[in-house]
Amino acid sequence: MSETINRRTFLSAAGVAAASVCVNSALPLAAQEQKKKQAAPKKEGTVNQNDLEICDTHQHLWDLTKFKLPWLKGDEVQKINRSFLMSDYLKLVGTHKVVKTVYMEVNVDPKQQAAEAEYVLDLCGKKDNPMCGAIIGGSPQSAEFAKYMEPFAANKRINGVRTVLHDPDRPKGMCLEKTFVDNVKRLGDMGKSFDLCMRPDEIGDGAKLGELCPKTTLVVDHCGNMPVHSDDKAQREAWMKGMKAAAARPNTFCKISGIIVTAKPDAWKTSDLEPNISFCLETFGIDRCFFGGDWPVCTLTAPLADWISSLKDIVKHMPLDWQKKLFHDNAVRVYQVAAK
Ligand SMILES: [Zn+2]
């Protein structure tokens, strides 16, 4: 499968109405013409989406009796200001067949980052849950980062690192500072990835980081964090430009996650999510996008099972092969998720 899909092939295979997609393909016209000559993947009849195996690459858990999450205060997050454990997740995933999960760090007090990593490594070691790996918290902006990573360097259950870049105390351009760049390069040398969770109009910086660190796998979280209802044209244009620049880096991938939280709680529709998701799929191509649940943050808008159903609905006309890539295979390849 080619890494980039031309718009017409994608739209017809995905069954997406052209009018609902507000963007042009990232491919230049000549390349589009060339690609048009390639046959679209064969459809394999009706897909029973209940059977799709899922690797959820963005599973948060927090046990507030063990960890402090400084951001978990105020009215906005009141609904999720309690503990969320693996047992809760397994009940709420419904009939969806989640066979693997990758833990995503939860922005704990930095002093607790190593303890957070140990907490999830313990879960990875147990057979009673699907967690196979983790993206742990870490601070590439710190000179201590190499030392912090030492105990995890050879551990195959630690797939990568994230530090959220959109918090108010994170200045614009932070990920391009020398120490940060050197440490992200270091992650590549260890075979670990780095997740980019950034303001939507700063994704271009993530693309530059991808260029500076060609041996490190970078993953743009949450479709680049562009709010689905935003009418801020300048922000949307900057997001689209940044996403296209990121997609031009072969080491950079896109996680289809998080987006539900920007839709209206209790009044959202699948069609609210579809334009941003389609843009990401077209821009990065079906081989470079993968699913993340972002539970329990997603519950600020919708239950996890409903959000998964909604994404399945958006891609239901795609060939089975493509759906498998999106929900499972790409994640396992990109994050190098080891079997349980
Ligand atoms: Zn999240």
Compute, in angstroms, the gap from residue 222 CA to the centroid of ligand 1: 8
Q: What is d(CA 318, CA 27) in angstroms, rounded to the nearest whole number?
A: 20
> From CA 112, how far away is CA 105, in angstroms rounded?
11
Domain boundaries, the chain: 4-39, 51-334
The model's pTM is 0.88
- ∠ CA 213-219-220, nearest 5°, is 110
- How far apart are the CA of 189 and the centre of ligand 1, in A? 26
Instruction: Please state, in angstroms and as integers, the Cα–Cα distance from residue 220 to each residue in 257, 276, 288, 290, following that order.
Output: 10, 14, 11, 10
C-alpha of residue 9 to centroid of ligand 1, in Å: 31
**Alpha carbon of 264 to ligand 1 centroid (Å):** 17
CB contact set of 255 (below 8 Å; sequence gap of 6+):
57, 58, 195, 219, 220, 221, 222, 223, 289, 290, 291, 292
pLDDT(84) > 90: yes
Kindly give the distance from the C-alpha atom of residue 14 to the centroid of ligand 1, in angstroms, as a whole number. Answer: 26
For residue 34, the CA-to-ligand 1 centroid distance in Å is: 38
Question: How confident is the prediction for the chain on average, in pLDDT?
Answer: 90
Cα 257 to ligand 1 centre (Å): 8
For ligand 1, the distance from its centroid to the CA atom of residue 106, given in whole angstroms, is: 7
Q: Are the beta carbons of 193 and 199 closer than 8 angstroms?
A: no
Distance 259 CA to ligand 1 centre (A): 10
Sign of CA dihedral 149, 295, 69, 204: positive
pLDDT digits (tens, 9 = 90+) for 274-287: 999 999 999 999 99
Question: What's the rounded mean pLDDT across residues 67-94?
Answer: 96
For the cut 80, the answer to whether the pLDDT of residue 233 exceeds it is: yes
How far is it, in rounded angstroms, from Cα 245 to Cα 234?
16
Residue 339, C-beta contacts closer than 8 angstroms, at least 6 positions apart: 132
**CATH of 51-334 among 3.40.50.300, 3.20.20.140, 3.50.50.60, 3.90.230.10:** 3.20.20.140
Residue 139 Cα to ligand 1 midpoint, Å, equals 17
Write out the two tokens for 156.
């195959």
| Residue 266: pLDDT band with limits 50, 70, 90 | confident
Averaged pLDDT, 205-234: 98
